[in-house]
Amino acid sequence: MKPLRCRRCGSDQVRRASRVGLLERLLSAGYVYPFRCEVCHRRFRALRWGEHYVRAGPDRRRHERLPVDFWTTLFLKDGERQGRVRDLSEGGATLEADLPVAAGDSLELTLKPSDSEPPITVEVAVVRSVQSGRLGLQFVRVKGGDDERLGKFLREQGGRR
Ligand SMILES: [Zn+2]
């Protein structure tokens, strides 16, 4: 079976969404399940013949995107730019930034979720989508040690909701 891709932005960062209502319960008996794109947040249904999904386990947190609002510095080939982080997970982020980049480009960025701590450095992030000033990023490599601080920050923020 082909990996699922988002119908709007083409991302493969797609996750099973919870079923809502009787119709979706009935559809899931016929292997039609709801999904949500982690990059553009589009929700859609798709036939996944023969596949069963179990409820998300402890690993769910890793890709759960938390709404945030802080600034980031992006390092491009031609210099530094600023962007605003609007959601964040251990695996990626959505930024508001006007940058000369396209899907597939990679860049480095630093995240500064708090003033009291040194920034978190994402050494390699790949641009997954660019859409009207919004940038979907997938983190490929986070600097050693900073990945733990990122996880800790997300757990603290997530627990606060
Ligand atoms: Zn999408």
86 within 8 A of 135, measured Cβ to Cβ: no
Look up residue 109 and give its two tokens. Answer: 């960025």
Say how many Å lie between the CA of residue 96 and the centre of ligand 1: 16
Distance 103 CA to ligand 1 centre (A): 12
Domain ranges of the chain: 14-55, 62-160
CB atoms within 10 A of CB 21: 8
> What's the CATH class of domain 62-160?
mainly beta
Residue 67 pairs in a beta bridge with 87
- Centre of ligand 1 to C-alpha 115, Å, is 32
How far does residue 64's CA lie from ligand 1's centre (Å)? 15
Give the pLDDT confidence of 83-105 residue by residue, as tens digits: 999 999 988 999 998 888 888 89
pTM score: 0.61
pLDDT single digits (tens) 101-159 = 888 899 999 998 888 888 999 999 999 999 888 999 999 899 988 988 998 888 888 76
In 3-state terms, what secondary structure has residue 115? coil
